Each structure stands twice: as structure tokens, then as C-alpha cells.
Structure 1
Amino acid sequence: MTAYDVARLLPSIPELRALCRALAALDVVLSPDSEDRHHHYSTAWAPGEELASMRDGAGNEYDIVFTAAGAYVRGFDHESPMSPYATDDDEPWPGVLDTVPDVFRKCVEEPAFSDEFDMPYLTVCLWREHGDTAWRHGDIAFPDGGDDGAAWLFALLTDGTPEAFQDWAQDYYEMPVDLGAVRHFYAGLPLTADVVTALNPATTLAAVTDPVVAAGYPV
């Protein structure tokens, strides 16, 4: 499974935005005191832009920039043979960025997604303008015996079910995770004290309200 498959499985831009906000809000409630949460969402990334991101703490990550034009997706699997740091020329894998449209060039060149030499580091790139009927990607010849990491990087976004998040969160946080509470978030229903308690009895609605609101999720 590569970027080609992820492009077929990702939901529409509005649905993806809502899912990313739900993931970020869930992580706030499950880990309210952490500064290094797995999923983040910023409604104030840049003027007119919002950012969803994932950091696994081991050097693997993704970012989704929601812009006036649509959405730009980058993912980086640091162990992929398609990593710029695994190639002979220290450049992004051929085809990954070659056909990104001009409306997303600012995202390609974003310093936060580049190293100290201004080289974009990524193994996956997708984009979708509001007028598109599907997610798009470059024309890529994948290496023998290797892929771009897209399958596992975007697994929660391509599956899109509360059950998938529950399975992941119970493994990641090593604690029971209430499926009904997760479904509440996935439905985009406003956060309540009861849902917070069901998901994490060790915290309160008051303690998580500000970061949940910052993630664009309704309270």
C-alpha cells in the first residue's frame, strides 16, 4: 500500500478536516498534560490556513495543510528507502513532488517541512484542490522491496472508524479506551463533561477545554 492507495481511501477535504480535529481532541483528553501528543490540529497555523499533524516521537510524521485552494499532504517515514536521506543525491524521491500544482508550492517550500538545507523531507505527497473529484499524487516508480510508508502513516485516516482509533489508542496509551466516547468525537458532537470522564476519569472538562477549542473541536 502506497500513496496511490491512500489517495483512493482518504475522505473528502471537509471529512478529513473533521476527522483530524477529532483525533487531536481525543489525544488532548487522553493525555492532557503532554506536550508531545501524537495528533495535533492548529486552526491558526497561518493566515487562512489550518494544519493537522502527527508525530510519533521516532522521527516519523505527517502534516496536512488546509488552504483556500484545498489540502496538501506530506508524510515522512524515516526508514523508507524513499527518504531523501537514503538516496544518493539527497533529494526527494523522483516523481513525489514533480507535479504538485502551483497553488501548493508554498507548502512544498515551507521551512517547517524542510531541513536546514531547505530540502523538503518527505516520502509521501498528496494534494486535492476543492474542484477535484479525488486526491492526486505524482507519477512514481517505487523502489523494489520498499515503499513510502503511506500505509501505516495514514492508517487512522484511511480506515476512518472509531474502532480503529480505539485499537490504536489502547495500545499506544496502554489503558482502556471507551468506544462510545470515541464515537462521540468521530460524530463531531460537542464535548461534554460526561464524555471526558468516560474517556479519561483522571481529567475534567475544564482542564481540557482550551486545547480542545484550539484544535477546532466543538465544546
Structure 2
Amino acid sequence: MTVHDTAKQLPEIPVLLDHCRAMAMVEAILDPEGTERYHSFDSTWSETEETALMRDGSGDEYAVVFCPAGAYIRGFAHESPMSPYEADDADTVWPGVLDDVPEAFRPQVEEPAFSDEEGIPVVTACLWRESGDDRWRAGTIEFPESDEGVEPDEYVADPDGAASLFRLLADRSAESYREWAADYYDRPVDLAAVRHIFAMLPLTAEVVRALNSDLTLDDLAEDIQEIGYPAA
């Protein structure tokens, strides 16, 4: 599995936007303090951009930037053999990952928040889709392979980290997300409430209580505004 496989599994931009917004809303309810949130969403990232963020707390992360040009996805798997810090030519992005990105997404490629202190983009997987395009695209990449006769390890089987990084973007079912969230947050997660939010229905006090009985709709006012989620 590589970023090219992920590109075939991603939906149209508006569908992905709603899905990212929904995951962030569920987790704002599950983790109101925000200390362990895996997915977040900033509807005011800039005057023209909204951004979905994932951080797993162990060094893996992604960002999906929704902008007038379309959508740009940057993923980083810290143990990937394609990491700028693991490649033989250290401190450089793996060839092909960013080479074919259209000029329209140059601001996202060069975004300081997505680079290290030396200005090197922190990326192992990149996808993009321009407004009006009919598919997601990725660069022409020669992926690393295992030595001949050696069983591929998990990092070579998923060389750029795309399969693990973007799993919940490729499989957008409420059931898969609920299973993941229950494991990650180590608590029961109400499936009906997840389905309600994944359908982008207005958030209600009942849905909030189903996910977190200690929380009220008013408690979520700032998160709702930041995420841009509809509320009743």
C-alpha cells in the first residue's frame, strides 16, 4: 500500500472536508480538554484555508489543507524509510514526493508549520486534488524495496506510511471510526451518535450526552466555532 493506493480511495473534496470536520467534532466531545485529541480541525487556519490535522502523539501526523486551489494532503510517518531523517541523503525529501505538486499548492508545500527548523518539509506522503479535477493525484515515486530474498517488513510494505496515516480517510464508515475511537480513547463510544455527526446533522444536547455525559452543548461552543460544525 502506498499513497497511490490511497488516492484511489479518497472521495471528492467536499465529502472529505465534512468527514474531517466530523471526526474532529466527535473527539472534541470525547476529549474536551484537548490533551489527547488525535484529529482536530481549524476552520480559520487562514483567511482562505481550512485545515484538518492528525497527530498520534508518537511522531506521525498529517494535514489536509482545503483552499481555493483545491485540497492538499501532507503526511509524515516518522519511522518510514522515506523520512527525510532516514534516507541515505539525509535532510532531503524523498524524490518524487513533492516534485509533481502543482504550483497552485506551493504555499502549502512551503508552509512553515509543515517544515522543520531547517526549512525541510516534514513529509513522506503527499496527495493533492485541484478544484474541478476528477481524481486525487500523487507524484511519480520509486518506493524503497526490501533486499532480495528478505521478507518485507511492515515499513517496506507501507513505505510512505500512507496506509496507516490515512486509514480513516480511506475507510470513512462510522463503524470503523467508532471501533478505532473506542480503542484509542479506551472508553465506549456510542455508534448512533457517531453516525449522527458523520451525517453532519446539527449537534444536539442528546448527541453530546451520548458521547460524554459530563458535557453540555454550551461547553462546546468554542470547539464548534473552531471546527465549523453545525449546531442546533
Q: Give the CA deviation at 1:201.
A: 1.0
CA–CA distance in structure 1, aligned partners of residues 226 and 74 of structure 2: 22
CA–CA distance in structure 1, aligned partners of residues 78 and 122 of structure 2: 9
Alignment of 1:38-117 (within 5 A): 38-89=38-89, 90-117=91-118
Residue 140 of structure 1 aligns with which residue? 141
Where does structure 1 lack aligned partners over 5 or more consecutive residues? none
Alignment of 1:1-219 (within 5 A): 1-89=1-89, 90-145=91-146, 146=156, 147-219=159-231
Give the alignment's Cα RMSD to 1 decimal.
0.9
Moved over 2 A (4+): none
SS of alignment partner, residue 113 of structure 2: helix
Give a deviation string over 1:125-174, Cα, whole Å, max 9, x none: 00000121000000011101411110011111100000011000110011
CA–CA distance in structure 2, aligned partners of residues 214 and 101 of structure 1: 29
Where does structure 2 lack aligned partners over 5 or more consecutive residues? 147-155
Which one-letter code corresponds to 2:20 in the other structure?
Answer: C
CA–CA distance in structure 2, aligned partners of residues 41 and 35 of structure 1: 15
Which one-letter code corresponds to 1:129 in the other structure?
Answer: E
CA–CA distance in structure 2, aligned partners of residues 142 and 50 of structure 1: 31
Which one-letter code corresponds to 1:49 in the other structure?
Answer: E
* TM-score, normalised via structure 2 length: 0.92
CA–CA distance in structure 1, aligned partners of residues 36 and 195 of structure 2: 24
Q: Give the CA deviation at 1:66.
A: 0.6
Give a deviation string over 1:82-128, Cα, whole Å, max 9, x none: 00000122211110000100000111111000011111011000000
* TM-score, normalised via structure 1 length: 0.98
- Of stretches 27-36 and 186-195 in structure 1, the one that deviates more from structure 2 is 27-36
